[in-house]
């Protein structure tokens, strides 16, 4: 079946469908990971986006039940150079194309993903339409141009859970942690479990009062999709939690903290999406290769320097990647220390979170 990807600037890419049929709108971005496509497809942070993989061959090891990062795929569409019809791996449950069809995700192969990536790098992330129904260029470009985009859009409410649940209850756990689900990846929860935490996951709309009623030793603000400035309920909850309990923010959670402390966020030209971003920890001087997925960034200069310390910086473009409150038990990072997919360099941050909770318990 024929498929077409059209960008708002008028660029058209014709290819072949290997997912569901239909038509979807979204912001098109590129991801530079060489593997881990299943984790990328099931990352809720991609809600509202059409993801193009820069690695040319995708699907060669299939899909399994264990490596999903959420209850379902949330991205709008998937773009690859070549979809591997043969999937060979002992953990494979099904092929990627079959999985995408089952979950009603559109996908296109056979287009020049290098040209698409260069286009996005030059022009920035763009609104786009992916279709197996409409092949009229003018019609497609008009649809892309008139679509909602991401700026000013609260997409967290479309991916968060409807009611709280207990992720794990272990007798030898040392800490009780509340996770505010803005689109949390399962590996964040797994890492908390590995670090002796009992975890309760709350919907994004939960108030600080409800979270504190659990009497947690710490709160984790999760990753998630869309424009952080539009998620007003989480910003308010975060502001109400600051100073009352240790807080660890990841990705969107980092942005929530920045906004809750009076800072500002801005949209990056084409964002950071991939598993090979070098980030320097300014406290140790060490450089970590990190997994990233975000289109917005905290303006570190909009925060009071007397209170906030910049802890991490992106070595590709010098944007802020981490911060810590100088007095309160609060810190956050823009990248994904839980990886899935990607390198494990930054997993030390979960140990830092437990150390912070342990120190706070003693006071």
Catalytic residues: 251, 336, 338
Helix (H, G, I), strand (E, B) or coil at 157: helix
- Answer whether 60's CB lies under 8 Å from 86's CB: yes
Distance CA 205, CA 110 (A): 41
Q: Say how far residue 82 (Cα) sits from the centre of its chain.
A: 24
- Residue with tokens 């022009």, as numbered in its chain: 123
- Answer whether 208's CB lies under 8 Å from 237's CB: yes
Distance CA 137, CA 120 (A): 19
Q: How many residues does the chain have?
A: 363
Q: Which residues, including other chains, have CB under 8 Å from residue 218's CB and lie 6 or more apart?
A: 175, 176, 177, 178, 197, 245, 246, 247, 248, 353, 356, 357, 360
From the DSSP assignment, how many helices (H) and strands (E) are in the chain? 9, 19
- Answer whether 129's CB lies under 8 Å from 147's CB: yes
- Bond from prior residue into 175 cis (ω within 30 degrees of 0): no
DSSP state of 20: B
- Answer whether 3's CB lies under 8 Å from 97's CB: no
Helix (H, G, I), strand (E, B) or coil at 147: coil
- Residue with tokens 């490596």, as numbered in its chain: 67
Neighbours of 299 (CB within 10 A): 13
Count of alpha carbons within 13 Å of 226, Cβ hemisphere only? 23
Neighbours of 85 (CB within 10 A): 11
- Answer whether 190's CB lies under 8 Å from 199's CB: no
- Ramachandran angles phi, psi of 320, nearest 5°: -70, 140
């Amino acid at each position: 079946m024929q498929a077409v990807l059209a960008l708002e600037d008028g660029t058209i890419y014709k290819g072949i469908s290997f997912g569901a049929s239909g038509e979807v709108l979204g912001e098109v971005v590129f991801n530079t990971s060489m593997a881990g496509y299943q984790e990328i497809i099931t990352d809720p942070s991609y809600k509202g986006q059409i993801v193009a993989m820069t690695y040319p061959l995708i699907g060669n090891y299939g899909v399994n039940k264990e490596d999903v990062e959420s209850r379902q795929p949330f991205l709008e569409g998937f773009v690859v150079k070549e979809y591997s019809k043969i999937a060979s791996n002992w953990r494979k449950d099904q092929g990627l194309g079959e999985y995408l069809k089952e979950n009603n995700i559109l996908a296109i192969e056979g287009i020049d993903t290098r040209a698409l990536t260069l286009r996005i790098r030059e022009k920035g992330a763009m609104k786009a339409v992916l279709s197996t129904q409409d092949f009229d260029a003018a019609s497609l470009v008009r649809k892309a141009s008139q679509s909602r985009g991401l700026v000013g859009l609260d997409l967290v409410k479309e991916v968060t859970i409807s009611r709280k649940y207990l992720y794990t209850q272990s007798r030898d756990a040392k800490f009780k942690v509340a996770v505010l689900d803005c689109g949390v990846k399962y590996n964040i929860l797994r890492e908390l479990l590995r670090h002796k935490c009992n975890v309760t996951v709350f919907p994004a709309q939960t108030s600080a009062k409800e979270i504190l009623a659990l009497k947690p030793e710490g709160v984790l603000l999760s990753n998630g999709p869309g424009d952080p400035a539009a998620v007003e309920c989480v910003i308010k909850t975060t502001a109400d939690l600051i100073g009352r309990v240790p807080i660890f923010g990841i990705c969107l959670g980092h942005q929530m903290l920045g906004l809750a402390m009076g800072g500002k966020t801005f949209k990056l030209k084409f964002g950071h999406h991939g598993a090979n971003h070098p980030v320097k920890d300014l406290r140790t001087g060490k450089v970590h290769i990190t997994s990233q997925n975000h289109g917005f960034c905290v303006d570190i200069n909009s925060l009071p320097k007397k209170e906030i310390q910049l802890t991490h910086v992106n070595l590709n473009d010098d944007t802020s990647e981490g911060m810590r409150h100088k007095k309160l038990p609060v810190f956050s990072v823009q990248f994904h220390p839980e990886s899935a997919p990607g390198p494990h360099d930054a997993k030390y941050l979960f140990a830092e979170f437990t150390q912070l909770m342990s120190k706070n318990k003693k006071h």
